[in-house]
Structure 1
Amino acid sequence: MRHKLFAQHSWMFPAFLLLGGFGLNFYLQTTSSGLEPVKVINWISEYPLLYASGSLFLCFLLLAASVLLPNMYIGPFIVMLLCAVVGTADYKKLQTTGEPLFPWDLLLLKNAADMLTITKGMISPMMLAAAVLAAAVVIWLLRRLPEVKLRLPLRLLLGSVSVLLLAGFITMIGGQTSLSSSMKYQNIFWNQKVNYAQNGFLYAFTGNLRQNLMEQPEGYSRHNIEAIAAKYSQLLPGDTAVPPAGEQPNILFMMDEAFFDPTRLGGLTFSSDPLSFIHGSENKAPSGYLLSPEFGGNTANVEFEALTGLSMYFLKDGAIPYQQKLVKMNALPSIVSILKERGYRAEALHPYDETFYNRNRVYPMLGFDSFTSEKELGDSGRITPGGYISDKFAVQEAVSRFKSAAEPLFLHLVTMQNHFPFTKGQNGPNTIAVSGIKSEYKDEMETYVQNSKLTDEALSLLQRELLTISRPTIAVFWGDHLPALSAGIYSDAGWEGEPRLKHETTLMFLANFDIGAAPLGTLSPAFLGPEVFQMSGLSMPPFYKLLSQVQAELPGLSKAALIGSGGPLTGLTSRQQELLNDYRLVEYDLLEGESYSSELLF
């Protein structure tokens, strides 16, 4: 008979929990180490106390789960299943973006249905078969293992003890203690790759549960913020354009999903130029490269820089401000709030799920008057039923807004056409052949090139349509980050060890009035606001004057690369360091401090 009392099998259940905890920890560390068990064994030999204590944490987590249901094996198996999903997600994120899984990534679970669409093709048939097999084994074990019965008082006692120990563990990791230090744990929040590699997945992931965006910099006070405000308020505006016809111009921000110039990849040849408009316009309009703070994902961080003028350079590795901070705020100065004070209407347009990265909550907080998502746009803009809404349709929608606007309009457009996966036929047949690439990557690369060609055509359409808008209008186009193509494509192109190349996307300004054609070089998204103000003849608030000073010295400000006015930098001058210190103080004040800058610098 299967159902027996706990006393008859008193050794089995504790052994199950113990083996489960150590096994889960080994599994999570293996997925975090690229599925290389040898690396895990070497890590355990160097940090045995981290592995042992982390495994015991998981043991008590399994114990806490075990007392929730009548059959004490069911809860632990559910936890094991969830850990298996977390480990798989960590491995896939590492393979795709080069970053580990962070706690705030789990907030995307509310978009689970859409995530399945986005990640289609990332989960192999073998992985699905393994998942089905694992589920079958779990069901078989649940039917074979004895049912452990405990009285309610003992369940409550075990549950309470487990919760207290779990809370103590999390508290210990959240603050550096002598106990955690004795186990060689160091919360390396400023470099998350090292954090996960040194402390292991469990400690690093748990330590991030209580992270803020940035640490308080030395010298933060109201007095120093007032001094910064006074310093940059006194600066003359510099050489700016004259507002055309005395009107405030419309402004379009067009952030294009996963767009970069694929012809930059070495060793490849193309049957025709996929970016004929962009390449043909580079000497006719201000253009260059955007130094994205991200690679392969985290679109919201690029958007955060462009809209707020705040830099990811100062924030902790892996930070996602939209999800960690902005969603909890009531207001934050941005280009939206600056323009609205000058009589602009502000609209956001994103042809996808409005809840991704909490945009439906962040956009109103930033001051947008309206937000249009795919919910309002329907399916008419899709090239194929399974594809995303096209860039051409998004451009047509944006242009229609400008033509009907009765007041100056700031429109922030975030496209989706070029999002992963790059499945052949997702946007119609591929029309450009790519040679010089391995056969295993050919369809993927040609599909991406086809997508980039369609974006180039949409940008050409935008330039023509701008000429039909009566009010002066300026458009800023950029790619948010490079696409999550197979890693072999970048390594075969010789891009390994070249972080700048993997962070430079296309940047171009277009307008229906004269904005010159001066090359932009490489520019961080935080400086797009001041740049468009300068080209449009709009007066700059003191914060934008600060950004312009930083831009003049450090136009490319990223953890991936530092680029000065003369090229890549290996160190900072005293002037550059002073500017960064001022910038950091203001950013901390707005995100984590008392927000004195809101009234003083905007």
Structure 2
Amino acid sequence: MTKTSVNKPIEELSIATLDPSAPVKRRKEFPGWLYAVLFLVFDFLAIAILQWGVTLTSTRVTLSSPLNGLGDMISKMWLKFNFVFLLNMIMVGIIYLVLLMLFNRFWIATPVLIAIATVIAVIERFKVEIRYEAILPSDLNFLGSNTGNLMSFMPSNAPLVIGVAVAAFAVFVALIVFLNHIDGRRGRMIRGSNPGLAAVSRLLLIAVPGLGFGLYIAQVGTVDSWAYNLSRGMGDTPSMWDSVYDAQRNGPVVSFVRQLNPKVMDTPSDYSEETMKAVAARYEKAAKKINANRSANMTDSTVIYVLSESFSDPSRVPGLKVNKDAMPNIRSIKKNTTSGLMLSSGYGGGTANLEYMGLTGLSMANFDSSLTSPYQQLVPTEHWTPTINQMWGSARNSIGLHPYEPSMYSRATNYKKFGFSHFYTLEGDDIISHQDKIDDSPYVSDEAAYKSTIEEVKKSKSGQFLQLITMQNHMPYKNWYKNNEFKVESTTGTPLGEGETESIETYAKGMELTDTATKDFLDQLDEIDKPITVVFYGDHLPGIYSSASEDEDNSLDLHLTDYFIWSNKASSSANTKISDDNYSSPNFFVAEAAEHMDAKVSPYLAFLTQMHSKIAAMEPPVVNNIQGWDRIPEGQNIYLDQDGKPMAEKDLDAETKQLLADYKLIQYDITAGKNYLKSTGFMDLPE
């Protein structure tokens, strides 16, 4: 190397330093197209970080599909023309753009975005690991008075995860500092000689996309709105039974935003404090009239609700022949106690909605079709959540049991809000005591679930409320049972498919096992020396009758399950049979149980009693498809009379129409209104 070549840059530096008038060599500015590319890269990075937060591998048994990661979301664009990944990119991109305009510096806004995504992802990962639940809108309460509850999300490996996240972010910040250093533009977004025009431009780029995003959030939860149609059109497929799977499948941003502002109900035109006081007074009078002829107190007894997963009579399915009776014991029980057929809003799914109606006395038929899952969209944000178990007073008298994951449908959180002292499941602090399975079935048997329930009944000498949700007969049905003697065939002339045949025969065997276990359960309750009443019902038919479901004329038959209300020998209501209760829906069970037990009622139960006397069963419009998370936005609700015949709304008499109007007022006040009824004693049983 020559002396000249060595000294040349030193000479140039000296001249530039000593002579201010000499031209200064500036760093080259990044071109606009490069900023656009980097915008997309960092937008993608934010999405990847958020997706990492919900893709924690779990060893637990789940009802959802296998783990869905970022690659699955991207591949769906080509394999299934599903563009929910782009929808997430657009949403995060809008937030990114707003940050860019606020700071007016690309190299400041970018690390802020990534920092926000990292913090959310770490918290999300902790919550998934501890509770197997994604971040929900109700978790925003932690930013207020419940901030301390965030500590409940901290797993044992929290320091390691936080340390790795901080280290990765530090590396990212170093990269950003380097890029800022070599960028002659220094990341300035809006430049110009007119500061006022630049400020207006930035304001517009904040306001316009921000307003659009706000409108999207406000309307995406309303069926048939532009935002709803956009979300579904780009591939958003809600899977709200499992919040983690929903976030994996549709992206954490889409799944979270979708639940921010669901439409619950239209406000009744006459809703006011005065109207609700009049409603309370009307049914207080009705309660006094009913109670004049009743002698028992419901809470002196133990009441057990048994939601038997997918329980229904397979021999009642049109076009199907079964070689033997799958439920001889329950058929006999139904003949000798209050019983009938329950109208279900679901087919193949929707368990939590039936469960919600049973616990609250409210009806899905009154909600807007946008509200698909009260357990996720409504209950977490409610200020007042009256449920029937609360009639038994102290939380120690309310026990829940479910031999599966407590996170499904956010049950663990909701049951605590409902006032249950314990919710026994396969995980968490309250572990259900019996977990036996039958042959190759992956689910806890009904016999085991009943054993756990009996133990809880025996722990208290006073009245209790117990809720059991079984799992034995949950889908899928994969030839689990040995020595299955059930055979099914079609009576329509068109043979059943091989898969359909296997599913139905496995399911029928499960029904027989439930039938035997239920009889044994009632026999054991008969030996307990305290009054006990059981409300037993199947939540929906299994979604395995593909041949029958092709015929729309089978719609009603495929939405009718079996139920009964039974009391043990120690009860004054033993051997009671209310002969006109041939049809019902879960919202009426508590009123029916009170009548069966000859128990006094609150104004609310008096209303439900009158409503049930005019309309035996009610549900939203239904179809013969596996229960999705899109409710039918049009069509009349299904109303059945005492003989199970559909009733046209236009033909209802004035008294029935008034009851339906009152029902909407009551339900609106409890769920979306101002809770005027809370202070009226509307829910209180007589002393």
Note whether the superposition's TM-score is higher than 0.5: yes
Aligned-residue offset at 1:172: 2.5
Question: Contact 1:288–1:519 (CA<8 Å) still a contact in 2?
Answer: no
| From 506, 528, 539, the counterpart of 2:562 | 506
Q: Deviations over 1:166-200 (max 9, x none)?
A: 53322233557xxxxxxxxxx79367999649983
Letter in 1 for 2:214: T
Residue segments in structure 1 that go unaligned for 5+ positions in a row: 21-26, 41-51, 83-106, 115-148, 177-186
Closer/same/farther in 2, CA of residues 247 and 291 from structure 1, 3 Å limit: closer
Aligned-residue offset at 1:414: 0.9
Q: What secondary structure sits across from 1:395 in the alignment?
A: helix
Closer/same/farther in 2, CA of residues 110 and 304 from structure 1, 3 Å limit: farther
1:432 equivalent to 2:458? Answer no
Instruction: Give the distance between the partners of 1:259 and 1:361, measured in 2 at CA.
Output: 26
| From 406, 415, 423, the counterpart of 2:470 | 415
Question: Contact 1:284–1:517 (CA<8 Å) still a contact in 2?
Answer: no
Residue 527 of structure 1 aligns with which residue? 588
Instruction: Give the distance between the partners of 1:465 and 1:193, measured in 2 at CA.
Output: 56
Question: Contact 2:353–2:364 (CA<8 Å) still a contact in 1?
Answer: yes
Instruction: Give the distance between the partners of 1:109 and 1:169, measured in 2 at CA.
Output: 34
Residue 474 of structure 1 aligns with which residue? 533
1:337 equivalent to 2:390? Answer yes
Aligned-residue offset at 1:286: 1.8
Residue 668 of structure 2 aligns with which residue? 588
Closer/same/farther in 2, CA of residues 389 and 57 from structure 1, 3 Å limit: closer
Aligned sequence identity (%): 22
Residue 392 of structure 1 aligns with which residue? 447
Aligned-residue offset at 1:284: 1.7
Aligned-residue offset at 1:497: 5.0
| From 335, 340, 353, the counterpart of 1:283 | 335
Residue 211 of structure 1 aligns with which residue? 262
Closer/same/farther in 2, CA of residues 16 and 323 from structure 1, 3 Å limit: closer
Instruction: Give the distance between the partners of 2:91 and 2:382, measured in 1 at CA.
Output: 33
Residue 451 of structure 1 aligns with which residue? 510
Aligned-residue offset at 1:313: 1.2
Residue 569 of structure 1 aligns with which residue? 647
| From 219, 223, 231, the counterpart of 2:274 | 223
Q: Deviations over 1:98-152 (max 9, x none)?
A: xxxxxxxxx99987699xxxxxxxxxxxxxxxxxxxxxxxxxxxxxxxxxx9649
Q: Deviations over 1:267-309 (max 9, x none)?
A: 2222321112122333222221112233322322111111111
- Structure showing greater radius of gyration is 2
Instruction: Give the distance between the partners of 1:108 and 1:581, measured in 2 at CA.
Output: 42
Residue 133 of structure 1 aligns with which residue? none
Instruction: Give the distance between the partners of 1:282 and 1:430, measured in 2 at CA.
Output: 25
Residue 405 of structure 1 aligns with which residue? 460
Instruction: Give the distance between the partners of 1:108 and 1:312, measured in 2 at CA.
Output: 29
Q: What secondary structure sits across from 2:565 in the alignment?
A: strand
Instruction: Give the distance between the partners of 1:395 and 1:277, measured in 2 at CA.
Output: 16
Residue 546 of structure 1 aligns with which residue? 607
Q: What secondary structure sits across from 2:443 in the alignment?
A: coil
Instruction: Give the distance between the partners of 1:113 and 1:595, measured in 2 at CA.
Output: 29
Residue 60 of structure 2 aligns with which residue? none
Letter in 1 for 2:265: M
Q: What secondary structure sits across from 1:282 in the alignment?
A: helix
Instruction: Give the distance between the partners of 1:279 and 1:445, measured in 2 at CA.
Output: 19
Closer/same/farther in 2, CA of residues 290 and 247 from structure 1, 3 Å limit: closer
Aligned-residue offset at 1:222: 1.0
Aligned-residue offset at 1:478: 0.5
1:349 equivalent to 2:349? Answer no
Q: What secondary structure sits across from 1:374 in the alignment?
A: coil
Higher relative contact order (CA 8 A, sep 6+): 1
Q: What secondary structure sits across from 1:475 in the alignment?
A: strand
Aligned-residue offset at 1:498: 4.0
Question: Contact 2:221–2:263 (CA<8 Å) still a contact in 1?
Answer: no
Question: Contact 1:268–1:434 (CA<8 Å) still a contact in 2?
Answer: yes
Residue 305 of structure 1 aligns with which residue? 357
Question: Contact 2:404–2:425 (CA<8 Å) still a contact in 1?
Answer: yes
Closer/same/farther in 2, CA of residues 156 and 395 from structure 1, 3 Å limit: farther
Letter in 2 for 1:435: E
Instruction: Give the distance between the partners of 1:108 and 1:208, measured in 2 at CA.
Output: 18
Instruction: Give the distance between the partners of 2:203 and 2:461, measured in 1 at CA.
Output: 63
Residue 677 of structure 2 aligns with which residue? 597
Closer/same/farther in 2, CA of residues 110 and 306 from structure 1, 3 Å limit: farther
Aligned-residue offset at 1:568: 0.6
Aligned-residue offset at 1:421: 1.9
Q: What secondary structure sits across from 1:594 in the alignment?
A: coil
Instruction: Give the distance between the partners of 1:264 and 1:109, measured in 2 at CA.
Output: 43
Instruction: Give the distance between the partners of 1:70 and 1:212, measured in 2 at CA.
Output: 34
Letter in 2 for 1:565: Q
Question: Contact 2:669–2:677 (CA<8 Å) still a contact in 1?
Answer: yes
| From 225, 233, 239, the counterpart of 1:200 | 233
Question: Contact 1:295–1:502 (CA<8 Å) still a contact in 2?
Answer: yes
Instruction: Give the distance between the partners of 1:36 and 1:53, measured in 2 at CA.
Output: 13
Letter in 1 for 2:515: D
Letter in 2 for 1:527: F
Instruction: Give the distance between the partners of 1:428 and 1:458, measured in 2 at CA.
Output: 17
Question: Contact 2:385–2:418 (CA<8 Å) still a contact in 1?
Answer: yes
Q: Deviations over 1:455-474 (max 9, x none)?
A: 11121112222221111211
Q: What secondary structure sits across from 2:266 in the alignment?
A: coil
Q: Deviations over 1:23-61 (max 9, x none)?
A: xxxx99x999x9699xx9xxxxxxxxxxx9999768758
1:253 equivalent to 2:305? Answer yes
1:169 equivalent to 2:212? Answer yes
Q: Greater shift after overlay, 512-521 or 259-268? A: 512-521
Instruction: Give the distance between the partners of 1:308 and 1:385, measured in 2 at CA.
Output: 36
Instruction: Give the distance between the partners of 1:335 and 1:471, measured in 2 at CA.
Output: 20
Aligned-residue offset at 1:514: 2.3
Question: Contact 2:403–2:435 (CA<8 Å) still a contact in 1?
Answer: no
Closer/same/farther in 2, CA of residues 6 and 493 from structure 1, 3 Å limit: same
Instruction: Give the distance between the partners of 1:275 and 1:247, measured in 2 at CA.
Output: 31
Letter in 2 for 1:283: K
Q: Greater shift after overlay, 452-461 or 192-201? A: 192-201
Residue 520 of structure 2 aligns with which residue? 461
Closer/same/farther in 2, CA of residues 113 and 420 from structure 1, 3 Å limit: farther
Instruction: Give the distance between the partners of 1:452 and 1:170, measured in 2 at CA.
Output: 49
Q: What secondary structure sits across from 2:552 in the alignment?
A: coil
Instruction: Give the distance between the partners of 2:462 and 2:328, measured in 1 at CA.
Output: 34
Instruction: Give the distance between the partners of 2:230 and 2:282, measured in 1 at CA.
Output: 43
Instruction: Give the distance between the partners of 2:475 and 2:513, measured in 1 at CA.
Output: 15
Q: What secondary structure sits across from 1:288 in the alignment?
A: strand
Q: What secondary structure sits across from 1:354 in the alignment?
A: coil
Instruction: Give the distance between the partners of 2:465 and 2:224, measured in 1 at CA.
Output: 36
Instruction: Give the distance between the partners of 1:344 and 1:256, measured in 2 at CA.
Output: 24
Letter in 2 for 1:217: P
TM-score when normalising by structure 1: 0.70
